[in-house]
Structures are given as structure tokens and as C-alpha cells.
A and B are shown apart, each in its own frame.
Chain A
Amino acid sequence: MIPMIPLVTASSVAFWVCGPIAVLCALGLLLARKPVHAAISVAGVMIAIAVLYAAQDAPFLFVIQIVVYTGAILMMFLFVVMLVGVDSSDSVVETLKGHRIASTLVAIGLGILLISAVGQFTLGREPAGLAEANDAYGGNIQSLAALLFTKYVFLFEATAALLITAAVGAMLLAHGERLKKKVSQSEQLEDRVRSYAEDGVSPTPLPNSGVFARSNAISTPALLPDGSVAEKSVSRTLTMRGALVNVEELRSATNAAYAVLEARDAEIEGDDE
């Protein structure tokens, strides 16, 4: 039975929607000044391509493309962009003489060559479709797995070795050398005591922030035994910003509460009389 061939298939709809999106996003990568924008554009390309995979009877790759590529790899790019400096942007001025024109010409030339190579011939028939291949093991994923773990098992193992090597290599490369000797605890102690002896710097930690019934935030200053505020118990930055909680306010609530209680006590005692 010859299946009906529809004029417009879902596949071609997907192509004509996602193809332009992919090209536009790719141009975004090429033209964006900031790396972050470029990364976002690439994410767009990846997703568009993922959709095209789906349209091409490749559900497994569709998922992988989104999860692994867009989700993992691209996010790693973003991490590095953040690490290197999110604000940095490329200078527009080309430093290499004639490089921009030559690169553009070569790229366009290569594009024309590739496209004309594609246009040189027609494949001459409609795609065979993957239905048969997928059905061999009961689905796309199963069939892929069968191929991967039988015919290409050694290649698969080799990629495992490649990945572990890459991981170790990345750790090695990103590992920073310690430039100074690590200061030990006893040395820290000695330094602290020495600075106390020489400069009078207190060897003990700074006092905690105040702990009140209604607040123990770092913006609440501690009180000394005489009721005055301990300056060192709060960050100077907060003091400068005027973000300190007014101790009197905290106190007033307590005092008010105590006053109510004392009034009630007095009332009770008065009733007894």
C-alpha cells in the first residue's frame, strides 16, 4: 500500500520554523559583543537543532541535545564566562591587518562551495525513513542501544576512556598552584599573641552581635554590662550605612512588656488589699 504523501509535512514545518531561528541565533553568536549574549544565542541554536532532530525521527538525540548540550555543556560555558568576566566585551577594531575581509571571503567562499556542492546533485528519492530500523528492537532508543553495545561497543569504551582522561586533564589544568606556604594554626596563634603584645590588638575574636528577645540579626549591636553599645559587635559597613537597629527600640519593647507585667503585678497586689 502506497502511503499518502502530504503537501506539507510536520517535518517541513519544523524545518522552515526552526531553520531560520537557528541561522538567526547563529548570526547572534557571530555578532554579539558580550560573551553572555553569544552563549544565549548558542543556546537558541542548540534548541532549534534539537527540534530539527525531533523532526528527523531522532527522539533520543533530541533529548540528549537539550539535556547534555544545552543543559550541561552550554551551562559550563556560562560558568566560565562568569569566571572570566561577564562584563568583558570584544573590541570592534580588528588588530590583524586584512584578517576580517579575508576571513569573510573565505567563509563565504566555503559556504558557496558547500551549498553549490549540495545543489550540484539531487539525492533523487524521498528519505527511506527510520521506521524499519527503529522497529528492529522495538523503538529508536532500543535500536540505538543495540547498535551501541554490539557493533560499536569498543568505540563506546574508548569514549569512556576519553571522557575520564578529559576530566582528569581538566582538573590538572584548572588546578592552581599554592604560591605561599600555608599558615598553620600554631603560627596563627603566635601571630595573634604577638600583635596583642606589640600593638594591643585583642587576641580574642570580635564580640558577637547582640542577642535580644526579638532580634539577633547582625545589625543588632551587643550591649556592654553598663548598658552602652559595644561598637565592635557590628560591622562598620553597617554602622556607616546607618543600618543598625536602634537599641532603644529593642529595649523599649522589653521595657514596655516589663511595665505591663509590673502593672499587672501591682494590680493583683492591689486587689488583694
Chain B
Amino acid sequence: MNPEGFLVLSAILFVIGLAGFLLRRNAIIAFMSIELMLNSTNLAFVGFARFHGNLEGELAAFFVMVVAAAEVVVGLAVIVAVYRARRSASVDDANLMKF
């Protein structure tokens, strides 16, 4: 299987994740969309690793996972804190930082 297919799949998943982030108001779903985008890039990393016969692509995917885990931990804590304060998990409700 040539890597172009993986790249196209990766692009499709990324775009769906982007659309999810832009369209969904629930903060948790927005977060999951971001995870989806990260995963799609991981897929591309792994595809390129195989193509080049080089493990550094896999290692990059590994680091992306670690960073994503850290991000998720903090992000979810933020969501919980916001929910506790405002009884809402909608990203649109957190719009005080504006003109």
C-alpha cells in the first residue's frame, strides 16, 4: 500500500476534526475534535516513517501522544472548573474576553 492513501485519509480526518472544532459548541466535543486532528497527523507521521524506513516518524507520533495526554489533562480540568463556575460546558458561554 503506497503512502498517498494514508495521507489522503489523514487529510480527511484532519478536516473533519477541524469542522468539528469549528461547528460544535460543547467544549468536550471540541476537545475530542482536536484529538482527532492530532491523530490524523500521527497517521501521516507513521505513513512517512514507513515510507522513509526511518523510525523517527513513529517517535514523533509518540511524542505527539504524550503532549496530547498532557493537554487533555489540563484542558479537561479547565472544562470542569468552568463548568463548576458557570454550569455550562458550551464554548460560546465563555465569551467574556471581548470588546
Contact = CB atoms under 8 A, between A and B. Distances in A.
A56 B81 contact: no
Contacts of A172: 77
Given A58-B46, A159-B66, A169-B77, A128 B51 contact: yes
A171 B19 CA distance: 31
Interface string A20-39: 00110011011000010011
Nearest to A126: B2
Given A42-B36, A127-B2, A56 B46 contact: yes
Contact of A30 (B16, B72, B89): B16
A143 to B, nearest CB: 6
Given A133-B54, A163-B69, A173-B78, A61 B28 contact: no
Contacts of B5: 12, 15, 19
Contacts of A143: 55
A134 B55 CA distance: 8
Secondary structure at the B interface, as helix, strand, loop or mixed, is: helix
Interface in B13-56: 13-20, 22-26, 28-29, 31-33, 35-36, 39, 42-43, 46-47, 49-56
B36 A45 contact: yes
Secondary structure at the A interface, as helix, strand, loop or mixed, is: helix
Contact of A26 (B16, B25, B76): B16
Contacts of B55: 130, 133-134, 140, 143-144, 147
Interface stretch (A82-90, A239-247, A254-262, A265-273): A82-90
B18 A107 contact: yes
Interface string A96-111: 1001100110111011
A114 B23 contact: no
Interface stretch (A46-54, A191-199, A222-230): A46-54
A83 B36 CA distance: 22
28 contacts: A11-B1, A12-B1, A15-B1, A23-B9, A29-B20, A39-B32, A42-B36, A45-B36, A52-B6, A52-B9, A53-B43, A53-B46, A61-B58, A65-B65, A73-B69, A77-B72, A90-B25, A99-B22, A106-B18, A118-B8, A127-B2, A130-B53, A163-B66, A163-B69, A166-B74, A170-B74, A173-B78, A176-B84
Given A111-B15, A174-B80, 5 more contacts: A26-B12, A39-B28, A53-B43, A77-B28, A111-B14
Sorted nearest first, the 6 A-B pairs with minimum C-beta distance are A128-B53, A166-B70, A103-B22, A173-B77, A111-B15, A114-B11
